[in-house]
Chain A
Amino acid sequence: MILKRLLDWLAGYWPEWAAYVVVGLVGIMVLIAFFLTMIMVVIWLERKLIGRFQVRWGPNRAGPWGILQPIADAIKVLTKEDIVPDRADKWVHLLAPVVAFVPPLLIFAVIPFQPDAILADLNIGILYVVAVGSIAVVGAFMAGWGSSNKYSLISAMRVAAQMVSYEVPLVLSIIGVILVVGSLSMMDIVNRQSLPFFLMQPLGFLVFFLAAAAEVNRSPFDLLEAESEIIAGYHVEYSGMKFALFYLGEYGHALAASALVTALFLGGGKFPWGALPPSFIWFLAKMVLVFCVLFWIRSTLPRLRVDQFTGFAWKFLFPMSLINIFLVGTELWWAKEMGWSLFPWPFLFLNWAIAGMLVLVWPKLFQLGVGRVEV
């Protein structure tokens, strides 16, 4: 590891704690620079692609192909007047953007870009991600409650409903991966994927992807900031840099979710035919691809209604994630009994068949939100 080598080198000259802090800060600075740059790239990419999806140009004034648009946005947002409503709870209103911004950045500490490019390979990596990732919701709830706006409050309640519904399938779908790997460390998870897990566990992949898309509030699950119903939801009363923090946090969370999909199900930085470029390039390529699929979905599907939104999580995703756990568990036990002789190809086809059948048959068992609903 680069950081470890740097630490050993510095510890030869300085006291150990000083070397440790300096090395940590170097790693963190690289990580934060990467995080902010990636967000800017992704914002530009999203605006450009959504523009094309909607048959218009997208940003094309600032710089060639509008590349400088995120920087122009940053300058604009920095010079906006900071408005705090008179009736707002001033402290909650002030702290909410901080709480929403920090957790996505913390998730990136354990994202395994490459064996030697991970800030901290915690032995409880994925559990840490789950724990930290759900804190961002608290920020959105604080914002909605603290700005004393009725639309924001409705949005805050929807945030809570969303968290309550989608957290369970998200967390359960990860268990299929852990069953195979037998470790919570992100690096171990990537190392075990000689065959990417989305091939072995299509059901778990589907559930995780959809639940993650809902957790990061991408359309069609973006009804907590549904512009046509509740203005902009929890951040109506924010302006200037505080709004920018929400914006950064939201995109950071979406990036973290696509990085997680990459690391858990798409094999991280691994590439089937050798590794010509360094593996973090593959990781980034897969991550951006997942992100593009997220906004492809966003620009294709209309927004769900709130009862359909929660019903989808409980009636479809949750049973699917439970079935996935026991499917994988039974297969692992059976493969072990057979001495791993048949592993993995028959199981792969079996899993795809079962997943396809369930996806086709299960939705026939119930209906999602028929008729009028008073929200």
Chain B
Amino acid sequence: MSFLQGYGFVGLLMLVALALAALFILLPCLLTRLRVIPRKPSPIKTDIYECGLETQGKTWVQFNFRYYFYALVFVVFDVETIFLYPWAVAFNKLGLFALIEMLIFIAILVVGFVYAWRKRVLEWK
């Protein structure tokens, strides 16, 4: 199996998977036309379900999500993993130099992580 053929199969699988999902969504539409599936909408049924209480105001309001700092730390370390993958693949050829190099790189990032931890950023507050 050549290099690109595998990717072609993955692309084909994605198309088929999308078609399957579309089928799963369109089939009930067809069955509704055939009156197999009931369709009796009412204002109460198509309202938002919040445990039986009427929903108050809009949902899409600004609110304080409390993991903003997690997201910042996440961005740093997720970018770091991009560097770690090629390093890991080539590690056997690179030897000690690469190991120490990466140790320094991670240590710099870990300083930031420790700082965030000490600052109590990792608490959900």
Contact = CB atoms under 8 A, between A and B. Distances in A.
Interface in B35-76: 36-41, 43, 45-51, 55, 59-60, 65-67, 70-71, 73-74
A123 B24 CA distance: 32
A182 interface: yes
Given A311-B124, A373-B124, A168 B74 contact: yes
B124 A244 contact: no
Contact of B1 (A4, A127, A184): A4
Contacts of A245: 21, 24-25
A322 B16 CA distance: 38
Contact of A237 (B6, B38, B49, B106): B49
Interface in A119-138: 119-123, 127-128
A78 B31 contact: yes
B21 A97 contact: yes
A225 B92 CA distance: 43
A373 B70 CA distance: 17
Interface string A98-127: 100110011001100000000111110001
A87 interface: yes
Contact of A241 (B17, B28, B103): B28
Given A314-B73, A333-B95, A78 B27 contact: yes
Contacts, number: 214
Contacts of A318: 77, 113
B46 A236 contact: no
Among A24, A106, A127, A330, the most chain B Cβ lie within 10 Å of the Cβ of A24
B118 to A, nearest CB: 11
A27 B49 contact: no
B91 A182 contact: yes
Interface in A128-167: 128, 145, 147-151, 153, 157, 160-161, 164-165, 167
B17 A106 contact: yes
B7 A79 contact: no
B78 A168 contact: yes
Contact of A81 (B38, B43, B90): B38
Chain B interface helix/strand/loop/mixed? helix
Contacts of A4: 1
Given A86-B47, A123-B3, A148-B60, A333 B124 contact: no
A168 B37 CA distance: 44
Interface in B1-15: 1, 3, 5-10, 12-14
Chain B, interface size category, equals 35 or more
Contact of B65 (A157, A240, A336): A157
Contacts of B41: 83
Contacts of A123: 3
A71 interface: no
Given A27-B9, A148-B60, A322-B106, A240 B67 contact: no
Given A97-B21, A179-B88, A120 B10 contact: yes
A100 B22 CA distance: 13
A364 interface: no
Contacts of A106: 10, 13-14, 17
A279 interface: no
B40 A94 contact: no
A183 interface: yes
B21 A236 contact: no
A147 B9 CA distance: 34
Given A182-B90, A241-B24, 20 more contacts: A20-B5, A20-B8, A78-B28, A80-B37, A81-B39, A82-B37, A106-B17, A120-B7, A121-B6, A122-B6, A160-B67, A164-B67, A165-B70, A167-B78, A168-B81, A172-B84, A178-B89, A310-B70, A329-B99, A333-B95
Interface of B: 1, 3, 5-10, 12-14, 16-18, 20-22, 24-25, 27-29, 31-32, 36-41, 43, 45-51, 55, 59-60, 65-67, 70-71, 73-74, 77-78, 81, 84-85, 88-92, 95-96, 99, 102-103, 106, 110, 113, 117, 122-125
15 contacts: A21-B12, A31-B13, A85-B48, A87-B47, A98-B25, A102-B18, A120-B6, A120-B9, A120-B10, A151-B50, A237-B48, A245-B24, A330-B99, A333-B95, A336-B92
